[in-house]
Structure formats: structure tokens, C-alpha cells
Structure 1
Amino acid sequence: MVRLNEIKMQDGKIFLITGANSGLGYETSKFLLERGATVIMCCRDLLKGEKAKKELLKFKFSGKIELVELDLSDLINVKKFAESIKNTFDHLDVLINNAGIMAPPKTLSKQGFEIQFAVNHLAHMFLTLELLPMLEEKNNSRVVTVTSGVQYFGKIQWEDLQGNLKYDRWASYAQSKLANVMFGLELDSKLKETNSKTSSLLAHPGFARTNLQPKSVEANQSWQEELAYKLMDPMFQSAKMGALPQITAATLTSASGGEQYGPRFNFRGFPKICRNAPKALNQTSRKKLWDISEKLIKDFDTLSKQSK
């Protein structure tokens, strides 16, 4: 079990966090700023981002905040964002793929992908691959991909990745969170093959109170879901506690590539190394998902270049 006093100061390090204006992203930003890091806070809504920044500045932390707009539902925006980061910073120490969407009604991204597969998995993979050269400028740099406990129940629908034939919002969410683990492990394998300075780790928050739950209830107008969350409320831990696994994966000196950190009791508690979803351990499946995802990204990238 990891305690906060094991985490060293982060002076001089640059962290980029997606979905940083609320929930786990906000608490992670707050922790890192307190320890002297420069935090690039990526937010889909700049107004909400400015509000979060204003709150954080009240603490007068020694770290620095860089607020930037990033819409993960649009790969064109992800590409432009990555180019802007490359032009502004000369390196990154840690990329935390934190942002996520949970169980909305059937919705498509700007490029026509099922929104959870697009935002939770595809956009973060694209962003990571775009920023990887910046990470490889530094020793012991890291990519931390945030998944969920539903990874253990997820299944990749190979014949219907986008839910075109049948859409189940919770099955699609679980699929995207399993995809996070498969991506994180496959990335680490590829990095190790090239003796990269960068490692890939995973984290999940357990049951943490964030804006994902009320957003899901609001989007689906589901009284059953709202009631379920009320009944389960005593089991939930704070967003501050839920952020500790990803903070640990991002900063703990002894953390290694391929490891996943989660709450001690799987749904709550201080972080420890936890098991990766068994379905993510199949190398053939991981490579298959990587190849499919890479092709979707490359096809988009090629088309966007031709349209210029």
C-alpha cells in the first residue's frame, strides 16, 4: 500500500493531464501543483477550466498552471492540440490520459466513431502517439492511462466495435475501459522493445465520486440509475482518494511499466498494485486492437492531410 509521504517533490517536471478541470483530473492537478510541478491542464470547456484554475490559484502552490483547450471527441482538434504543445514545450515528463465519458445514449464523435470508444480509447491513443517523442526526451518519463474497475467485465466486440448493430451504453463503456488497459500494456511492450526512456502504466480509481455519475444520470434521464447511485453512495470514496492511484503511477519512483495501481480494496482505500484485466493479457488480442485503432487513426490523418 502506497502512502503520500512516499511521493517526492516534482519541481521542474511537466505533467499534461486530460480532463483536468474536475473530479480526478482536478485533484491530480492540485496534488502535483502543491509539489512544485508545471501542470498543463487540458479542458474541453475553457470556461470551466478557467474556474478550476482560479480555485487552484487560491492555494498559492509553488507549481505553475498552463490551461489549454482540448476536445477529445474530435481527432482534428487532438492533432492541432498536439502540434501546439510541441511548439510550446520542449519536453514532457508525464502524460496522464485521465478524461473520460461514461455510459451516454448512443452518440457519435466528430469522425463518426461511437463516442466512448472515440474519447476514452482512440483519442487518447492518438494523443499519446503524437506526444511520445516529447516524452522520450526525458529519462523515466511516463504515460499513465486511467481505466476503471469495469475493465474486468469488459469485452471487445470485434464485429461491432462502434455499436452499430447493437448499442448497450454500459457494455460500450466497459469495452472502452478494457481497451485502455490493452492499449497501456501494448504500449509498454513496444516501449520496452525499443529500450525507450518512457514507460506506460495504468490506474483505476475504484468507486470515486466525480461528475461522471450525475452526467450519466442527466444524459440518460434514468431514475433507476440515480437511485442505484444513492444506494451505493456509502461505498464511494472522494475524488481526492480516487485520484491517488493515478498520482502514484505518475510519480512513485519505484513504479514500473506495465503496472496498474488501484485502491487497496479494489473499490476504495489507499493505492496498491492491482491486477490487470485478464482479457488484456492476451498479446494477440492487444495487437489486434492496436492495429485496428492505428488504422482508424492513420486513415483519418491521411484524409485530413488530403483535404488541406
Structure 2
Amino acid sequence: MKEKSNIFNRDKPLTIMITGGSSGIGFQAVLKLISLGHNIILPCKNISRANEVLTNLFNHSLDESSNKGEIYTPIMDLSDLSSIDSLCSEVKNRRWTIDVLILNAGLQYTGSKTPRRSTQGIELTFAVNHLSHFYLTQKILPFIDIRNDPKIIITSSEVHNPNSGGGKVGAKASLGKLKGLESGAGFEMIDGNKFNADKAYKDSKLCNILFARKLSDNFMKKKLSIPVIAWAPGLVISRDNQGFFRYSRKYNQLGQILFAFLARDILKITTSNKKAGLLLSNLACLSKYTKPGFNYYSNKIISSGKFIFEETEISNDAQRGDLSDNLWELSKSLIDKINK
């Protein structure tokens, strides 16, 4: 990556770290941000994936006269907390400072009857969607210069809210009293109940917002005016085998095909990776999204094929200060035990 000034000016190149940038929404956001001249740190799971991403970016690149930013693809596996340590050591050694941190990676394996586990033995949805991002944020904060007007962006979902369209379908998001998380790494569900893959995903999206709120509260207590933005891209279903639903297709391919056809082609309640990626790139670099504190935006459908992206109220559980406090402390405690 080229050396550059880190003066945070929305008209000048930013250094942006994004997880989940190798496919789907994240990849489309990276394409847009690079075309605008911004510099991207895009952690990839392994060298093979990093090379694939670089090839895809080259194949999608604009003409050579465009003001492209630089891209670097260090190795980081969100299913392994020790991999986050290695990434942050590399950031330190290269003396990078980061203007925008985008926590976009996520997985869902709806249809599975049994939990998958991270390297540290944690249920994989919770590990990747929440805990690893929680840990990455703590480790990367020293490399975010508050003088550069930074921001942190977290991709959540409307399904965190039991009263939303997607949140009403199937098991609803609810963390209970966090009994599962409290019990240690071997839990199946955060609330202590038996594994439900669909609910595990919804719960993780609720965790995203609770984490964002608590992080913002911590900044405000330190008199740091850092925007912490959580956002919901809407229902995104691509026509290929890439993107978010690639995991769920392994467990219920026919069901996923039928659901995609109904939602995308008949009801027209889905958006595309490209459109959602543009929203994410706008959150990262437009000055209109710099309001200090916690902010939540949702890409809401208003009629068949039509969406509006606006600031939206979060669910009742997501507004609970006691829940955000407890989630923070138990997440920290779990990581501390693992790192002993």
C-alpha cells in the first residue's frame, strides 16, 4: 500500500479496513471505494482466497485512467481469534492508521441441525458474526487516530427485530439472560437453549447492534465523537452461488432456490449486492454519515421493488442498556478465558 497522509478528509483518500469484502455486499463496496481512490485493507481467510479476490478485483476494475486506490489483503480468519492477533501485529508493524473500520463479514447456515464450531470451540455464527468482530475492534482501536474523524460501521440486519418482516418469520431474536454465553465456550445458543441455526443468526444480528451501542457509549464517556453506525442492507439474494446465502444452500439447496425465486423474482422484495454495496460505500465515505454517537440505518422496502434507506428505530431488546452491558462483559470474559 502506498504511503499516504492520514488527514481524514472525505475528498481525499481514506484507509478503510473491511471484513467480508471478498464477496457479496462487501466486494461491491470495495470495488466502489477503490474506484474513488480510497485505500483498502481487506483481510482474507487464506492466501488462496486473497489471490482469488485480487483476480476478481482486477477483472472488475474500471479503465486504467481512473483514480484507483491501493489494496492489501492480509490473512485473517474470523473463525480463529489467534488469527486476529496476527493481523493486528501486522497492522502495527506496518504502522498503518485506519480511518474507517467496516465490520461486514457474516455467515448463516440455516438448515443445519447441529452447531459448527470455531477454532476455539465457540458456535460459529456467534464466533464470526459477533465475538471476532468484538475482539478485532478492541485490538484495532489503537491504530485508529481520533484526530482523523474516524468511524466504525457494522453490518446488522432487520431480523434482529422480532417485529420486522424477516424477524417475524421462524424463531425470533432473543438473548434471554445470556445463560449460554455465561456458561463458557461450549454453549449452543446464547440464551442457553438448544441449537437453532436460524435463531442463532438473528441473535447474532441483535448482538451486533448491542455491541455498536455499547461501543458508542464508551466513546461518549471518553468524550470521543466517533460515529458508530449499524445498518441493515435489506434482503440480498444474488443469482450466483456467492454471497451471504452460500452457506445455507449447502443444507437446503432446493428450499433456498425456491425462496430466492419467490422473494427476488415474484415478490421483488430483495435488493442486489451491487446496490447494497453502494449503500455501504456511501456510509464509509460520505460526510452526511458522520453524526457522532450510535446511528442505525435500514434499507427498508416500501413497495414491490422499491426501497428507502433511512435512519430507523432499533428493536426493544436492542435498546436495553443492561443487555448491552452484560453482552460486552461476558464477551470480554470469554475472550480473556480463551487467551489465558
TM-score (norm: length of structure 2): 0.80
Residue number in structure 2 paired with 1:260: 296
Q: Rg: which structure is higher?
A: 2
Alpha-carbon shift at residue 270 of structure 1 (Å): 4.9
Aligned-partner Cα distance in 2 for 1:50–1:279: 41
* Higher helix fraction (1 or 2): 1
2:98 partner amino acid: L
Change (3 A) 1:270 1:15: farther
Residue number in structure 1 paired with 2:174: 155
Residue number in structure 2 paired with 1:123: 132
Aligned-partner Cα distance in 2 for 1:138–1:127: 21
Residue number in structure 2 paired with 1:244: 278
**What are the residue-to-residue correspondences of 1:192-203 with 2, within 5 Å?**
192-203=220-231
SS in 2 for 1:99: coil
Residue number in structure 2 paired with 1:272: 310
SS in 1 for 2:98: coil
Change (3 A) 1:239 1:268: farther
| Contact preservation (8 Å) 1:9, 1:36 | no
SS in 2 for 1:11: coil
- Pick from 91, 102, 111 the counterpart of residue 108 of structure 2: 102
* Deviation sequence 1:116-163 (CA, Å, 0-9, x none): 110000000000011111113443201111111211132114223432
Change (3 A) 1:29 1:89: farther
Residue number in structure 2 paired with 1:287: 325
Alpha-carbon shift at residue 79 of structure 1 (Å): 1.3
Q: Does 1:179 align with 2:207?
A: yes
Residue number in structure 1 paired with 2:47: 46
Change (3 A) 1:10 1:114: farther
Structure 1, 59-68 or 30-39: larger mean CA deviation: 59-68
Aligned-partner Cα distance in 2 for 1:147–1:248: 16
Residue number in structure 2 paired with 1:92: 98
SS in 2 for 1:259: strand
2:316 partner amino acid: P
Change (3 A) 1:201 1:86: same
2:22 partner amino acid: N
1:28 partner amino acid: A
**What are the residue-to-residue correspondences of 1:52-91 with 2, within 5 Å?**
52-57=53-58, 58-59=61-62, 60=64, 61-91=67-97
- Pick from 255, 259, 262 the counterpart of residue 231 of structure 1: 262
Structure 1, 95-104 or 56-65: larger mean CA deviation: 56-65
Aligned length: 294
Aligned-partner Cα distance in 2 for 1:203–1:71: 23
| Contact preservation (8 Å) 1:17, 1:98 | yes
Structure 1, 33-42 or 45-54: larger mean CA deviation: 45-54
Residue number in structure 1 paired with 2:245: 213
| Contact preservation (8 Å) 2:30, 2:281 | no
Aligned-partner Cα distance in 2 for 1:42–1:282: 32
| Contact preservation (8 Å) 1:245, 1:272 | no
| Contact preservation (8 Å) 2:146, 2:224 | no
TM-score (norm: length of structure 1): 0.88
2:271 partner amino acid: Q
2:232 partner amino acid: H
SS in 1 for 2:281: helix
Unaligned runs of 5+ in 1: 1-7, 304-308
- Percent identity between matched residues is 24
Aligned-partner Cα distance in 1 for 2:283–2:272: 18
* Deviation sequence 1:197-255 (CA, Å, 0-9, x none): 5331111110112522232111x145333322221123221101122343233223132
* Deviation sequence 1:30-82 (CA, Å, 0-9, x none): 11111111001122143233233223233244211111221000001111111
1:74 partner amino acid: D
Alpha-carbon shift at residue 10 of structure 1 (Å): 5.1
1:97 partner amino acid: L
Residue number in structure 1 paired with 2:153: 144
